[in-house]
Amino acid sequence: MSRHQDYSFLEETQITDVAAPKPLLTLPDAVALIVGIVIGAGIFQTPALVANQAGSNIAVMLFWLAGGVVSIIGALCYAELATTYPNVGGVYYYLKRAFGRVIAFLFAWARLMVIQTGSITLLAFVFGDYASQIWRLGTFSSAVYAAVAITLLTALNIVGLQQGKWTQNLLTVAKVLGLLLVVILGLSVTGNSDPVPTESAGSGSWGLAMVFVLLSYGGWNEAAYISAEIQNRQRNIARSLFWSIGIITAIYLLINFAYLQGLGLANMGKSEAVAADLMRSIWGEPGALLISVLIAICTLGALNATIFTGSRTNYALGQDFSLFGFMGRWQERPSSPSSALVVQAAIALALVVLGTFTRKGFETMVDYTAPVFWFFFLLSGISLLVLRHREPYITRPFRVPFYPLTPLLFCIVCGYLLYSSLVYTNVGALVGVLVVVAGIPFLVWNRYHQKRT
C-alpha cells in the first residue's frame, strides 16, 4: 500500500446527528476538570497507607514525587494521542483505530458498566458518608445523599456544558483552597512531629505504597474525553495535562509534608482518618467537622467531573453501534449528550441501591474496577506504539519525547499495576472481568441487528 494509504476501513459508519460537540472549554476549564477528577477522597485516605509502608519521612515524600513523575510519563503519551486524534470518545477512539471495534466496544462497555459508573457510585457514597457527619438524614443517610448528588449533578450536566463546567470550576477552586488551609495549619504545628517510625511503618512494601500513591493520582487520563471540546486543542490538551499534574503533585507533596509535620510518621501510619486527626489535634471537634465539609466538597467535585467525562464515552459508543444509538445523540442547545448522561445515572443509581443493602459488597467495587481499568490503560499505551507504526504520515502536533522508550516505560508501569491490582484483590476482580465479558453477547446482537437492517 502507498505511504498515504486510507485507513477508513477502521472506522464504522457512524450514526449521523446534526448536533455535535463544540470547542467551548478553555484551558482553565480543562485544568479545573482534571484537577477536580484526580483530587477526590483519595488524598484523605491513602497517605496513611503509604506512610505505613514507608521507613522514613523522606521515603514518604519520594513516593508521592514518584507518583507525579509516573503521571507525567503517561500524560506525554496521552498528549500525543489526544492532539493527533481529537475525539469525544477519547481512549475508545484510540483503541478502535489501533485494535478494531471489538476491543473498543469492550472498553466502552467496561466504562459504562464497571469503571466509570463504579467510580461515580464510590465517590457518591464517600460524599454521603461525610455529608452525614454534618447533617444526618436517618438510617440510609449516605445512600440518600449519594442518590441526590448523582441526580442533581447529572441534571446540571444535561442542562448544558456551561452550567456543568462552572459547577466544576467552583468546586475545584473550593477544594484547592481548602487543602491549602489544611497545609498551612499542619505546617504551623511544630510539637507533634515524631520522626521515629513504628514497626508497621517500616516493614512495608514500596510496590504496595506505589499502588496507593498512583490510585490517588488516577484520573488525569480523563483529559482524553474533552479533546473534541477544548479550544485550541493542539496546544491546550498538552498544556492542560502538564499544568494539572503539576498542580496536583505540588498539592500532594505539601499536604503529605503537613501530615508528617503535624502528626509524625508513626501517628500518620496508624491513623484511620489522617486529615481529621490532624485537624482535631489543632482545632478539636470543630476542626474534624471542617475537614468533613472539605472532603464532601472534594468528592462532589470529583463526582461531577467523572459524570461529565463518563457520558462522552457512552455518546461515542452510541455513535458507532446502532444497538446503543439512543446514547449517540448530542443535544445542540444545551451542548450535552443528554441520553448518555441519563443512562449513566440510571446504572449508578442502581449501584447505589445495591450498595445500600450490601455495603460490604459495595466495598468490593474498588476491587473489581481496578484490574479492568489498568488492563485498558495498558492497551491505551500500546495503541500509541501501534498507531505510530501504522500511521506514520499523520501530522502529530505533539510528539512524545524519547520515543519509543517513554511509551514502553508507561506500558511497563501499567502492566505492573495490573498485576498488583489482581494480586491485592479477591473475588471482586473476577466479577469485574465477568461483567466485561458479558458485553460480548451485546456485540454479537448488534452485528445481527445491523445485518437485519
Higher confidence at residue 90 or residue 64? Answer: 64
CATH homologous superfamily of 19-452: Amino acid/polyamine transporter I (1.20.1740.10)
Question: Residue 151 in contact with residue 375, Cβ under 8 Å?
Answer: no
Other CB atoms within 10 A of residue 44 CB: 24
Q: CA nearest 254: which of 29, 68, 54, 30?
A: 68
pLDDT > 80? residue 238: yes
Length of the chain: 453
Residue whose cell numbers read 498544556? 239
What cell was used for 378? 495498558
Phi, psi of 318 (to 5 degrees): -65, -30
Q: Distance (Å, rounded) from C-alpha 229 to C-alpha 168? A: 15
Question: Residue 407 in contact with residue 80, Cβ under 8 Å?
Answer: no
Lowest mean pLDDT among 179-193, 229-243, 371-385: 179-193
Q: What is the mean pLDDT of residues 136-163?
A: 83
**Number of alpha carbons in the 13 Å side-chain half-sphere of residue 90:** 26
pLDDT > 50? residue 6: no
Q: Distance (Å, rounded) from C-alpha 109 to C-alpha 433? A: 12
Higher confidence at residue 7 or residue 333? Answer: 333
pLDDT > 90? residue 148: yes
Other CB atoms within 10 A of residue 104 CB: 27
List beta partners, residue 25: 230
Higher confidence at residue 312 or residue 207? Answer: 312
Higher confidence at residue 218 or residue 84? Answer: 84
Higher confidence at residue 335 or residue 19? Answer: 335
Give the DSSP letter string of 354-397: HHHH-HHHHHHHHHHHHHHHHHHHHHHHHHHHHHHHH-TTS--S
Provide the pLDDT for residue 282.
Answer: 80
List beta partners, residue 230: 25
Q: CA nearest 67: which of 43, 88, 86?
A: 43
Confidence band, pLDDT 50/70/90 cuts, at residue 8: very low
What cell was used for 52? 505505613
Confidence band, pLDDT 50/70/90 cuts, at residue 81: very high
Confidence band, pLDDT 50/70/90 cuts, at residue 162: low
Provide the pLDDT for residue 22.
Answer: 65
Alpha carbon 338 to chain centroid, angstroms: 21
Q: What is the mean pLDDT of residues 310-337?
A: 75
Provide the pLDDT for residue 340.
Answer: 86
Q: What is the mean pLDDT of residues 412-428?
A: 79
Q: Distance (Å, rounded) from C-alpha 143 to C-alpha 14? A: 38
Q: What is the mean pLDDT of residues 40-66?
A: 84
- C-alpha to C-alpha distances, 214 to 115, 206, 249, 421, nearest whole angstrom: 16, 12, 11, 12
Confidence band, pLDDT 50/70/90 cuts, at residue 273: low
Provide the pLDDT for residue 426.
Answer: 63
Provide the pLDDT for residue 224.
Answer: 66
Q: CA nearest 263: which of 208, 255, 291, 298?
A: 255
Phi, psi of 336 (to 5 degrees): -155, 150
Provide the pLDDT for residue 385.
Answer: 96
Question: Residue 330 in contact with residue 19, Cβ under 8 Å?
Answer: yes
Provide the pLDDT for residue 149.
Answer: 93
Q: CA nearest 164: which of 307, 28, 19?
A: 307
Q: Report pLDDT digits (tens) over 169-220.
A: 677 777 777 778 878 877 776 544 444 444 444 445 676 778 788 878 877 8
Question: Residue 450 in contact with residue 322, Cβ under 8 Å?
Answer: yes
* Burial (Cβ within 10 Å: 0-12, 13-18, ≥19) of residue 238: buried
- C-alpha to C-alpha distances, 439 to 59, 407, 434, 435, nearest whole angstrom: 43, 29, 9, 7
Provide the pLDDT for residue 140.
Answer: 82
Provide the pLDDT for residue 21.
Answer: 60
Higher confidence at residue 322 or residue 202? Answer: 322
Q: Distance (Å, rounded) from C-alpha 308 to C-alpha 92? A: 16
Confidence band, pLDDT 50/70/90 cuts, at residue 427: low
Helical (H) or strand (E) element with 91: helix 91-99
Confidence band, pLDDT 50/70/90 cuts, at residue 249: very high
Provide the pLDDT for residue 418.
Answer: 86
Provide the pLDDT for residue 14.
Answer: 44
- What proportion of the chain, given as a percentage, has pLDDT over 90? 19
Q: What is the mean pLDDT of residues 366-383?
A: 86
Q: Report pLDDT digits (tens) over 54-70.
A: 878 899 999 999 999 99
Lowest mean pLDDT among 44-53, 177-186, 269-278, 353-362: 353-362
**Number of alpha carbons in the 13 Å side-chain half-sphere of residue 336:** 23
Provide the pLDDT for residue 376.
Answer: 92
Q: Distance (Å, rounded) from C-alpha 76 to C-alpha 192? A: 40
Question: What is the chain's mean pLDDT, rounded?
Answer: 79
Other CB atoms within 10 A of residue 259 CB: 27
Residue whose cell numbers read 481496578? 370
Provide the pLDDT for residue 10.
Answer: 34
Q: CA nearest 109: which of 350, 447, 449, 432?
A: 432
Provide the pLDDT for residue 182.
Answer: 79
Provide the pLDDT for residue 164.
Answer: 56
Give the DSSP letter string of 287-328: HHHHHHHHHHHHHHHHHHHHHHHHHHHHHHHHHH-GGGGGGS
